[in-house]
Every structure is written in structure tokens, then in C-alpha cells.
A and B are shown apart, each in its own frame.
Chain A
Amino acid sequence: MKHHLIPRVIAKLTIPGILLFALYVQFHGDYGPGGGFQAGVIFGAGFILYGLVFGLENLRKVAPPQIVTAFIAVGVLLYGGVGVVSQILGANYLDYDVLSAVDHDGQHLGILLVELGVGITVAAVMMTIFMTFAGRLR
């Protein structure tokens, strides 16, 4: 891809926008269309585009596989951890009401954190799948 100037420039221009749009879909998910799954895929797609244009080696420098794998686990732990916190606060598993003094705020906070967990795991899984398959061909 070294000599293909146009894809490199376009990728550099669009990747920040893709990542920003992913964050919008993530954090606006409880008001508008979107949520963790979609946001995670979009976020992962930004990194995959980088890997496609600038090569797997560079992608591995930006997103070391070990750390990406750890993020798969972090997302699940965040999701499950929210549930356990509500248990510690005296309610049932994943009952968000107790997370804040006002029920409505608690529900809001709970779904935000849970969706963030989903987003982190989905993005990390997308990147891991890409890196695994791309690494196979060598």
C-alpha cells in the first residue's frame, strides 16, 4: 500500500471521524438508535481500516494483541460488575434502581455502563478476529 497515496490520505482523514462517530453511537445509544454492539463494531472498523491500509505490523504497534485480548475480558467484567454492584447495594442482579438515589438516574447510569462494557468487548473482539485472520496468511 506504500505507493497508493489516495487510500492512505483518505484513511487518515476518515479514521478520526469513524472513531468519533463510534463514541457518538455509544453514548447517545440510550436516547437514539445505537448502543454498545453497533458502536463497538464501528470503533473496531476504524482500527481494521488502519490495519488494511498501513499494514498489520503498524496495527500491532497501535493496538498490541495482548492488550486487546485483555479488553475483551474488561468489557465482560464491567457488564457483570455493574450487576454485582447492584447486588452489593441490596437489590437483585442488574437491578439499576439502586445505583443512584433517584430510580430514573440509576437506570440511566446502569444502562450506560453496561452498554460501555458491551462496546469495549465487541470492539476488542472485532480487532482480535481481524488480527488473527490477517496473521494467518503470512
Chain B
Amino acid sequence: MIAQFPALQVVIPLLGAPLCIILRRGALPWLIALLVSWAALAMAATLLSQVADGEIISYALGGWLAPLGIEYRIDTLNAFMLLLVAGTSSAVLPFAYKSVAKEIPQDRHYLFYSGFLLMLTGLLGMAITGDAFNVFVFIEISSLSSYAMIAMGRDRRALSAAFTYLVMGTVGATFFLIGVGLIYAVTGTLNMADLAERLPPLYQSRTVLAAFAFISVGILLKLALFPLHLWLPNAYTYAPSVVTAFLAATATKVAIYLLLRFGYTVFGAEFVFNIVPASEVLLTLALAGVIIASFVAIFQSDVKRLLAYSSVAQIGYIILGISYANVTGLTASIVHIFNHAVTKGALFLVMGCVAYAAGACRLESFAGLGKRMPLTMAAFVIAGLSLIGVPLTAGFISKWYLVLGAMEKGWWPVAAVILATSLLAAVYVWRVVEIAYFRDAPADAPPLSDPPLALLVPTWVLTGACVYFGIETSLSLGFAEQAAIQLMGGG
């Protein structure tokens, strides 16, 4: 049974989606999605415990052995990403019941949960597969469903946001496919482990250089690295609350995983950092992204959009760690993938609570919320502290390792930039906190109170996780370190 988990990890969400269409009545689609997601989490946890000692699981789909058949290949990093994706969806789906009921018309609920499960399928598939073309298939599954999910937002602007994302996302996926086609043309294989063996003699080949350029630009579009982030703010702002929380925590993160997988495993660190100046390019773009997006976030008047720009900045931090090209930096990146997912998931769920109670996330509608929705705003403050990187929160752990990595390289200015931009994060979080706690609600404001427990509990689970992973780091940091060492060791 456990030997079949790699396939079931993807197949169960995939089959859950059509089930939602057939059993479309009442709360059934939600229940199916919830059970499927929890099953996926249990399987991801089992897989992670199996690869915890550095073992690698290989699964041949259809009994066709690699490199001819499609191989699912799970090492620490894969299992870690599976756990992140399944964990986020398991935390977000209980929240979805009430939030979706309020934000989306009743006759579309079954489509919503069906689309959600397809999104989950695609992201899990991207994280588990060891076949370069199979990655493209799963990118398309997750992207197409996420365009539809974003378009379900209440605001009509959700449609244009989804369309922009569709155009940019399709360009990204197509670039990726062109790159995969080029390396297939020179090597004759699509299996990642096989590619890793056949590419080194071809490092000087112009085809391989072009393939690397296409693949990396395609992935960078998907993960929204500055200046390729233009689709992200609108998509996050206008999507339904649940979708924003799930996408922000997982979609860009899985794309970052792909960057690591293709950079380190397929092309190899030697090619990426010595033959191609990837370190310099990533460093420049990451620093520009961190600084500019943090500044832009300060001037937003919609809190959801503010958090979206903050996401662009945080993606900058993750890429920054990759550009160090050392184990500390890579560990920092991987642990920040995890910690930022938890933090941003919590913050966007708070936005979901506010949207549920107040109907909008404009900055002025936060006035007086500290008194009127005390539990919701307390969650915002704690998750906000984690976003800034205050000690005893998850955000501190990743920033600490980012600074350590910079010092190891002797890049003092970079360490200074990390500290300075953390202050910028403090500024934009403070703007919201100030209005919520120190400005009284207008006299004619309708009465507001904390949302029902069905919304508060998932929000506080993720908020609690922000603190938990700031103190007990053996899960997040331990696996991140192991994954980084495995990647660096060419594993």
C-alpha cells in the first residue's frame, strides 16, 4: 500500500475533482475536497518520513521503467514541497466552507471545489515528478485551474486580472516547453536524472545555453521574480480569499522548487554558476525586487494588494538565498519557502476574515477593527511580526540564515539591505496595525464582530504555526538543511 503512495498522492486529488462535479449537491463537494486534501497530507507526511534518512523513492508509472517511462522521484526536497502544498490546502479548506459560501454564488460551488482540487493536483504533480515533460503537463493543470479560480472573484476586475495572469502564465509555460524541447533535441531524454548525466559534456553547446535561458525565464515568470511579477498583485487582490491564501502560499513556491530542481539537478551547479552568470543575475534582480516591491507595498491603499507586493519582496529574499550558491543560502531559501508560505497563508486568511465581516479590505475599512474584531487583528499582528522577521517567529529563522549566508560570502552590503528592507516591512505592517488599533471607527460604521469559529480556527492554526516554527525548527530547518545538502551534493 505505502509503495503506491507516490501515485496516489497525485491520483486521489485528480479523481476527487470529477467526483465533485458528479456529487454536486449541498456541502458534498466541500467535504470531498476536505477529505481528499487531508488524505494527501497524510500521504505526504508518510513520504517525508520515508525519505528523512536521505533515501530516494522512485516510482515507475504504468510499470514503464525510467528513463523511458515517466518516473516519480522523491527526495527530501520533493517530499518537503509535497508536505507544504498538502498542508496548506488542508489548513485552508476548512476555512473555505463559510468564506466561499459568502463570496461565490451557490450554483458554482461544485465548480469551485473541483477547480481547487485540480489546482492541488497540478501543484503536487509538479513537486513529485522526475520527468521534465510531465512537469509541463502539471504546470498546465495547475495554471489553467488557477486562472479559472481567480476569475471567480466577486469584483469584475478579477476577470482582467485572471486574463493578465493567463497571458503571462502561458508565455512562461510555453518558454518552459521550448526549453525542454531543446534539451530533448540534444540529449534524447526527458527524465531528469538521465538528463543530469547527459548534459555535462554538452555544456558549451549553444542549444543547451538557449534551453537554459528559455527554461529559467519561463520559471521566473511563474514564480513572479521582479520585474516579471506584473501579473501577481492584481491576481492576488481580486481572487476569492481562499484562492489568494492557497496560491500565495504554494503556487509561486512550487515554481521556486522547479528553479532549484532544474538549476541544481538537471543542469547542475557547475553550469548554472560557472558557465552562466546566474548568481549575478539572480542577485541583482532579487535585490531590486526586495527594495522596490517593499517600497511599493508601503503606498498601497488596499491591504490585500499591500500583502501581494510584500509577496513579491519575499520571493526576492528566497531568490537572494539561491544566488549565494552556498549551503547556508540554499537552506535559508528553502526554509523561507516554508516559513513565508505559513506566514502569508495566515495573513491572507485574516484578509478573508475581514472580507467576510466587512466586505472589503481597503485600508480605511480597517479603522477601529482592533477593538471590533480583536481575535482577527491579533492574528494579523502576530503573522505580521513573522513577516517582518521578529525573533520567536518563523520569519526570523529564515532572515537569520539569509544574513548568515551573506556574511559567509563576505557580502556585507547585502546583509545591510536585508536588515533595511525588514524595516520597510515593519513600516507597511505598522500602517495597517496603526489604523486598526489607534483610529476609531467612523460613527456611521455598521457593527462588526469577529467572524465565526469556522473562519477563526484555520486562521489561528496558521498564525500559531508562525510562532511554532519560530521556536521549534527541527521540521522546517532540519529538512531544509538536508534538502540543501542533497541538492549541493548533486543528489
Which positions in A face B, CB cutoff 8 Å?
A: 69-70, 72-74, 76-77, 80-81, 83-84, 87, 91-97
A selection of 25 A-B contacts at a CB cut-off of 8 Å is: A69-B21, A70-B22, A73-B17, A73-B18, A73-B19, A74-B18, A76-B15, A76-B17, A76-B18, A77-B18, A80-B15, A80-B18, A81-B15, A83-B7, A87-B8, A91-B63, A92-B4, A92-B7, A92-B63, A93-B4, A93-B61, A94-B62, A95-B62, A96-B62, A97-B63
Interface residues of B in 377-402 (CB under 8 A from A): none
A84-B11 CB under 8 A given contacts A92-B63, A95-B62:
yes
A123–B63 CA distance with the chains assembled, in angstroms: 29
Q: Which residues of A contact B21 (CB under 8 A)?
A: 69-70, 72-73
A95 touches B63 (CB 8 A): yes
Q: Which residues of B contact A72 (CB under 8 A)?
A: 18, 21
Q: Which residues of B contact A92 (CB under 8 A)?
A: 4, 7, 59-63
The interface on chain B, measured as residues whose beta carbon lies within 8 A of the other chain's beta carbons, has a size of 16
The listed residue (A80, A91, A95) touching B11 by CB distance below 8 A is A80
Q: Which residues of A contact B17 (CB under 8 A)?
A: 73, 76
Q: Which residues of A contact B19 (CB under 8 A)?
A: 73, 77
A87–B18 CA distance with the chains assembled, in angstroms: 20
Q: Which residues of B contact A70 (CB under 8 A)?
A: 21-22
Q: Which residues of B contact A96 (CB under 8 A)?
A: 62
Contact residues of A: prevailing secondary structure: helix
Q: Which residues of A contact B14 (CB under 8 A)?
A: 76, 80
List the 5 closest pairs (A to B, CB-CB), nearest first.
A73-B18, A95-B63, A93-B7, A73-B21, A94-B62
Q: Which residues of A contact B7 (CB under 8 A)?
A: 83, 87, 92-93
The listed residue (A69, A76, A81, A87) touching B4 by CB distance below 8 A is A87
A77 touches B59 (CB 8 A): no
Q: Which residues of A contact B59 (CB under 8 A)?
A: 92
A83 touches B63 (CB 8 A): no
A76–B21 CA distance with the chains assembled, in angstroms: 11
Instruction: Tally the A-B contacts, defined by beta carbons under 8 Å.
Output: 52
A94-B61 CB under 8 A given contacts A74-B22, A77-B15:
yes
B17-32 CB mask vs A (1 if < 8 Å, else 0) is 1110110000000000
Min distance, Cβ B69 to any Cβ of chain A, angstroms = 9
Min distance, Cβ B489 to any Cβ of chain A, angstroms = 29
A87–B61 CA distance with the chains assembled, in angstroms: 11
A92–B61 CA distance with the chains assembled, in angstroms: 6
Q: Which residues of A contact B4 (CB under 8 A)?
A: 87, 92-93
A81–B55 CA distance with the chains assembled, in angstroms: 30
Min distance, Cβ A26 to any Cβ of chain B, angstroms = 20
Interface residues of B in 1-52 (CB under 8 A from A): 4, 7-8, 11, 14-15, 17-19, 21-22
Interface residues of B in 318-355 (CB under 8 A from A): none
A38–B7 CA distance with the chains assembled, in angstroms: 28
Name which residue of chain A comes closest to B70, CB basis. A94
Min distance, Cβ A23 to any Cβ of chain B, angstroms = 23
Name which residue of chain A comes closest to B114, CB basis. A73
Min distance, Cβ B321 to any Cβ of chain A, angstroms = 35
Q: Which residues of B contact A80 (CB under 8 A)?
A: 11, 14-15, 18
Q: Which residues of A contact B8 (CB under 8 A)?
A: 87, 93
Min distance, Cβ B206 to any Cβ of chain A, angstroms = 36
- Most A CB atoms within 10 A — which of B17, B18, B21? B18
Q: Which residues of B contact A83 (CB under 8 A)?
A: 7, 11
Min distance, Cβ B66 to any Cβ of chain A, angstroms = 12
Min distance, Cβ B68 to any Cβ of chain A, angstroms = 14
Q: Which residues of B contact A95 (CB under 8 A)?
A: 62-63
A87–B4 CA distance with the chains assembled, in angstroms: 7
Q: Which residues of B contact A81 (CB under 8 A)?
A: 15
A7–B315 CA distance with the chains assembled, in angstroms: 59
Q: Which residues of A contact B60 (CB under 8 A)?
A: 92
A133–B15 CA distance with the chains assembled, in angstroms: 27
Name which residue of chain B comes closest to A66, CB basis. B24
A73–B15 CA distance with the chains assembled, in angstroms: 9
Name which residue of chain A comes closest to B6, CB basis. A93
Apart from A76-B15, A92-B7, list 10 A-B contacts with CB within 8 A. A73-B19, A73-B21, A77-B15, A77-B22, A87-B7, A92-B63, A93-B11, A93-B62, A94-B61, A95-B63
